Structure 1
Amino acid sequence: MARGKIQIKKIENQTNRQVTYSKRRNGLFKKAHELTVLCDARVSIIMISSTQKLHEYISPSTTTKQVFDQYQNAVGVDLWSSHYEKMQEHLKKLKDVNRNLRRRLVQSHRQPDRNQQEELRNVEEIHRNLVLELDARQEDPHYGLVEHDGDYNSVLGFPHGPRIIALRLPPNHHHHHPGLHGGGAASDLTTFALLD
């Protein structure tokens, strides 16, 4: 009894499709093994199913790389050259990006940003002002000072007011002069009455 011709088309039922794939894959691998043993052929089969599963058969006497290398030599095609060129181009771009990042990093370490420069100027200004204030205090002979248009009476606290001058003497120079008012031995403030 003769078998009828089977029409080859995609199997619509997914379960039937998977079963057929598995059976035919195993049959194909069996035939590849027979060719390897019977004919001393080097066979490599790579299959990827519709579910993205990889199945492969390679003759025990060879490797996949050896098969690809022999294929390239036999056909005169370089399978890797375009891929290698793309990788080289990508590597060049990465090196350029790396070089630019390094340059920017070095520049940022050499030149402080504007906020840091402004902060540094502020600190320097504060320092200058403090030094000037300290110098002024060291040079100040501690005379009683009155603001412009101020009242001498309120500064000195004496009833004779404008007729008395107060001087602060160094603590180790307490003198008692005739005609001096106030300023006992324990005080470094000495007052002088102005003569009429």
Structure 2
Amino acid sequence: MVRGKTEVRRIENAASRQVTFSKRRNGLLKKAYELSVLCDAEVALIVFSSRGKLWEFCSSSSIEKTMDRYLMQTKDVNTKHSAMTQEMKDLMSEATNMTKKIELIEAHKRKLLGETLETCSAAELHELGNQLEESLRQIRKRKQCLLAEQIAELREKEKSLLKENKLLHEKFKGGNMLRLNAAEVQSMEVNTQLMIGRPATL
């Protein structure tokens, strides 16, 4: 015969409730003991009856020791949780501040581009004008530096080309001299050949 499932709800009859409490309490204490032995676990069990009577089981030397360990463990967990919560709050606050800064920078950028100027006061417009003038000065200064660097590079390149041109010119002149000398020698050889021969008869 299959045993039916007991509906889990408060037993109204006091006698039946007390009998069920005794049986289930003993079974719970037994299971706690078996868990501590089989799994080498530290188990502490505290049960108060509806009348306030205490039953307890502890696998260690004392339930106070286990409770201290529990409190220490939960304290560490709560401390870590609090630290993580605080870190999350700090990150959220930093993200909010960064978002506000980005919005301010974007608004300032739009004003520098000449947009949304209708909301600006005379003082703000004057400040924007000063900032633009300073920016133009910096741009011109940077432009002059770049031009000066380019001019210096071109001058160095010009010197290098002039030097190379001079070397080529000297080389070219030396080549002509050699060719002229060779022509003169050849001419002398021809004259010599004409002079050596059978004397002409008169």
Same fold? TM cut 0.5: no
TM-score class normalised by the smaller sequence: 0.3 to 0.5
Could you tell me the TM-score, scaled by structure 2's length?
Answer: 0.35
Larger RCO (alpha carbons 8 Å, 6+ apart): 1
Q: What TM-score do the two structures reach when normalised by structure 1?
A: 0.36
Q: Give the number of the structure whose residues are more often strand, by fraction.
A: 1
* Larger helix share, 1 or 2: 2
